[in-house]
Amino acid sequence: MACFFRRSVAAQLSRICGAPEDVLVPLLSAVPVSKKQSTPDLRLAVNSLVKNGVLSPDADLQTQTERLTKQLRVDAVVEEVISGRGVINFRINKRLLVEVRRTSCALRFTRSGFSNLSAHCLKRSLAHSSPNIAKKFHAGHLRSTIIGNFIANLKEVLGNEVIRVNYLGDWGMQFGLLGAGFQRLGSQEKLRENALQHLFEVMLTCALQVYVQVNREAEHDESVRLAAAEFFRRLEQHDEQTLSLWKQFRDITVEEYKKIYERLGVRFDHYSGESFHQSRAQEVLKELRTRRLLKTTEKGKGVVDLSAASDLSSYATLVRSDGTSLYITRDVAAALDRKERFHFDEMIYVTDKSQSVHFQQLFQILRVMGHHWAERCVHVPFGLVLGMSSRLGEVVLLEDVLNEARYRMQHNMQEAKTSKELTDPELTAEQIGVSALIIQDFKGKLISDYKFDWQKVLQAQGDTGVFLQYTHARLRSLLRMHGSGNHTHFNPSHLQDSRSISILQHLLRYDEVLLQSALDLQPRHLVNFLITLSHLAASAHRELPVKGSPAELAQARLRLFSATCSVLANGMKILGITPVDKM
Ligand code: ARG
């Protein structure tokens, strides 16, 4: 819908000032709904025309604003053109605005429909989640998983092709520690003999303990440190026995993660990992050496100079004195490999902000190596989640978080006695639990840390995922009962009340909000939009009865509720939430 109105105004503007429609469309913003009925529907900041080179920067802004306003005409779409301070406001013809059928075009995300707004149709490689084998799956990995999933969903909706990559932490010195520890404390027979589930228990529960124990021991016991270094050295040299133990660890972990990702509704196109880029890392080092980009320090480390003055005042270490590769070396190799394999236009990495320097260095190294596409590599950093725990204490595995959310949600639903007619209350509780986690996580700026609080997360009232689900389920139930409104005999004049108009005006903002989120890769624009939509829908649901209203009025309201429900569901899906029909 928004496309239609925005396009029409842009076309008129384009005829007047000569700029292409595509440049003008994104400059027209839908004005947020306010209590005052008189808000305009679309607004143009004349300054943005200057910034885009459409108008001259030399002339007085207000004079230009007024001149342009005078040239604009009222037409079938625009009811009124009003100039303000540096802005031009457009009021959209109310009759058209309430023609809810038009909203349906906002609901069909065809490539062409949105590529106008998304500017390009690009191929993106998106690396997210990326947990470490045999280490804690901490809240950061949960954030990386859901944020990456959101970015990928959004880019796809806007017409891009996305390749979702899970870059596992499956290589590095910690495998020396894990391998050596397992050889000492782990049970090889059990690991070999038992079923996958048992193997996983041995591997992640027991091996986690082993890992922690080994870590503690390593502080005192020099022999463990040496054994660990030896194990990793053998791994790097692809010693068969060492490699097969490592492979067992990896395979089991991936299998288990896949199940958890399924519970979260997340899938990957590609599981890679640091181990994949092993030999390539050695090639990278060779290339750097031949091109004299790798310098050896006194202590025997290999470094790449990243300083402007070539004085090693800033550098990245790519090779240890014993010749083994580092995290960043493998990332350079992985980036080169992905470029060749996927031919991406843009690569997005999603990790916590503690890795910001790592990615700056990574992109710098790629530039030093002459890869201009490093300019199109993006790091999306996010903040810490503080205090995430479960009934059993500190959260160690992602599974613990999901189980806790499901358990608590099911408990709440039983208390509220809502879950009686559900076919699978456990699944519904899980889906609502996950949406609560997602909304809590996406509400603020991603870079901010936040304190985790189960009570707040799972509240049914207030700006939570539970509230979104509740609103959606109520609308679905209304539509189940009465149908989604008669398409052919629909009279928009029945939607002239302030509540209906507020919803319609708000729906007008949907594509703009998606675009905004796509530009800065922050989900909060969409989250806030959906929360406001839910509040508007909740009050409309209360105040605009369908049951008992004259048929024509009831039909018109059903059309409005059906459009609201579709946009709500659609937006939730982009966020990675499965909308529930009953709860
Ligand atoms: N495995 C890493 C960690 O847990 C995250 C990987 C991020 N991606 C990357 N290409 N370095 O910290």
The DSSP secondary structure of 72-131, one letter per residue, reads ----SSEEEEEE-SSEEEEEEPHHHHT-GGGHHHHH---HHHHHHHH----EEEEE----
Quote the ligand 1 centre to 273 CA distance (angstroms).
9
38 and 65, same domain (yes or no): yes
Distance 318 CA to ligand 1 centre (A): 16
Same domain, 61 and 140: no
Do the domain assignments include residue 182? yes
- Residue 277, pLDDT > 70, answer yes
For residues 403 and 438, state if they share a domain: yes
- What is the atom index within ligand 1 of the atom nearest the CA of 141? 4
137 lines ligand 1 (CB under 6 A): no
Q: Is the pLDDT of residue 461 over 90?
A: no
One domain, residues 341 and 425: no
Which of 137, 167, 328, 349 for mutating ligand 1's site (highest number of atoms within 8 Å of CB)?
A: 167
**What does the pLDDT read at residue 195?**
34
* Spatial separation of the C-alpha atoms in residues 367 and 107, rounded to whole Å: 41
- Residue 177's CATH number: 3.40.50.620
CA 532 to ligand 1 center in whole angstroms: 35
**How far, in Å, CA of 84 to CA of 288, rounded?**
59
Mean pLDDT of 112-127: 49
Q: Is 494 a catalytic residue?
A: no
- Note the pLDDT of residue 255: 79
Evaluated on CA atoms 478, 482, 483, 488, the torsion sign reads negative
Same domain, 46 and 162: no
Q: Choose the weakest-confidence range: 135-144, 293-302, 507-516.
A: 135-144
Residue 360 has pLDDT above 90, yes or no: yes
192-196, 355-359, 414-418, range with greatest mean pLDDT:
355-359
Return the minimum-mean-pLDDT range out of 215-229, 284-298, 345-359: 215-229
Does 193 map to a domain?
yes
Q: Quick check: CB of 130 below 6 Å from ligand 1?
A: yes
Kindly state whether residue 446 falls inside one of the protein's structural domains.
yes
What confidence score (pLDDT) does residue 501 get? 83
Pocket test for ligand 1, best of 125, 128, 130 (most atoms within 8 A of CB): 130
Of 47, 62, 97, the residue that ends a domain is 97
Q: Which long-range contacts does 455-458 make (Cβ < 8 Å, 24+ apart)?
A: 457/405, 458/405, 458/408, 458/409, 458/412, 458/433
Mutate to test the pocket of ligand 1, among 355, 365, 380, 397 (most ligand atoms within 8 A of CB): 355
Which residue type does 312 have?
A: L
List the CATH number of the domain containing 37: 3.30.1360.70
Q: Which residue has the higher pLDDT, 43 or 179?
A: 43
CB-hemisphere CA count at 13 Å for 354? 6
Q: Please give the tally of structural domains in the chain.
A: 3
Q: Determine, yes or no, domain membership for 170.
A: yes
Determine the distance from the C-alpha atom of residue 333 to the mean position of all C-alpha atoms in its chain, rounded to a whole number: 25
Return phi, psi of residue 123, to 5°.
-100, 125
Residue 47: beta bridge partners?
Answer: none
Same domain, 72 and 164: no
Answer yes or no: is the C-beta of 440 below 6 A from any ligand 1 atom.
Answer: no
Q: Identify whether the C-beta of residue 436 lies closer than 8 Å to the C-beta of residue 466.
A: yes
Is the Cβ–Cβ distance between 508 and 41 less than 8 Å?
yes
- With beta carbons less than 8 A apart as the criterion, state whether 469 and 435 touch: yes
Q: What is the pLDDT of residue 168?
A: 87
CA distance 266 to 149: 7
Mean pLDDT of the chain: 83
In a domain, 567, yes or no: yes
Place of tokens 């280490």: 135
The backbone torsions φ and ψ at residue 32, rounded to the nearest 5 degrees and listed phi first, read -55, 145
If asked whether residues 446 and 339 sit together in one domain, one would say: no
Which of residues 97, 114, 133 is at a domain's end? Answer: 97
Query: Of all helices (H) and strands (E), which one includes residue 225?
Result: helix 222-236
Q: Which residues pair with 169 in a beta bridge?
A: 132
Angle between helices 398-415 and 139-157 (to 10 degrees): 80
The CATH number of whichever domain residue 401 belongs to comes to 1.10.730.10
What share of residues in the chain are helix, strand, coil (percent, to 5)? Answer: 60, 10, 30
Two tokens, residue 471: 């609103």
Indicate whether 8 and 131 sit together in one domain.
no
Most confidently predicted of 172-181, 195-204, 397-406, 572-581:
572-581
The answer on 163 and 73 residing in a single domain is no
DSSP 204-220: IIIHHHHHHHHHHHHHH
Is the CB of residue 172 below 6 angstroms from any atom belonging to ligand 1? no
The whole-number pLDDT of residue 259 equals: 86
Q: What is the pLDDT of residues 416-454, one digit of tens each?
A: 877 678 889 999 999 999 999 999 999 999 999 999 888
Q: Is residue 348 part of a domain?
A: yes
Question: How close is the Cα of 348 to the center of ligand 1, in Å?
Answer: 12
Question: What pLDDT, on the 0 to 100 scale, is given for residue 284?
Answer: 95
Residue 192 contacts residue 295 (beta carbons within 8 Å): no
pLDDT digits (tens, 9 = 90+) for 93-117: 766 665 544 444 333 333 222 333 3
Dist. CA 280–CA 574, nearest whole Å: 36
Residue nearest to atom 4 of ligand 1 (CA): 131
Q: Is 351 in the pocket of ligand 1 (CB under 6 A)?
A: yes
Is 288 part of any domain?
Answer: no
Is 471 in contact with 537 (CB distance < 8 Å)?
yes
Distance 174 CA to ligand 1 centre (A): 14
Candidates 123, 135, 339, 582; catalytic one? 135
**Angstrom distance (rounded) from CA 245 to CA 133:** 13
Indicate if the alpha-carbon torsion angle 321, 327, 332, 333 is positive or negative: positive
Q: Return the percentage of the chain with pLDDT > 90, whole number.
A: 46
What is the CA(252)–ligand 1 centre distance, in A? 19
Do 48 and 130 belong to one domain?
Answer: no
Q: Is the pLDDT of residue 349 over 60?
A: yes
Q: Which of 51, 120, 123, 138 is catalytic?
A: 138
Domain identity same for 78 and 141: no
Parallel/antiparallel/unpaired status of strands 450-451 and 385-386: parallel
Contact 109, 3 (CB under 8 A): no
Assess whether the C-beta atom of 328 lies below 6 angstroms from ligand 1: no
Dihedral in degrees, nearest 10, Cα atoms 358, 176, 267, 401: -90
- Asked whether residue 304 is assigned to any structural domain, the reply reads no
Q: Ligand 1 test: best mutation among 173, 175, 351, 352, most atoms within 8 Å of CB?
A: 351
**Domain extent at residue 90:** 2-97
How many angstroms is it from 129 CA to the middle of ligand 1? 8
Is residue 343 annotated as part of the catalytic site, yes or no?
Answer: no
Q: Kindly name the residue from 120, 128, 136, 141 that is annotated as catalytic.
A: 141
Give 237 Cα–ligand 1 centroid separation in angstroms. Answer: 23
Distance of CA 22 to the CA centre of its chain: 26
Does residue 141 carry a catalytic annotation? Answer: yes
Instruction: Using the predicted structure, report yes or no on whether residue 231 has a pLDDT greater than 80.
Output: yes
Q: Which pLDDT band holds residue 487 (cuts at 50, 70, 90)?
A: low
Domain boundary among 361, 386, 411: 386
Torsion angle, alpha carbons of 273, 277, 281, 284, to 10: -120
166 and 53 in a single domain? The answer is no
Nearest to 451 by CA among 395, 389, 404: 389
Residue 580 scores a pLDDT above 90? yes
pLDDT(281) > 50 = yes
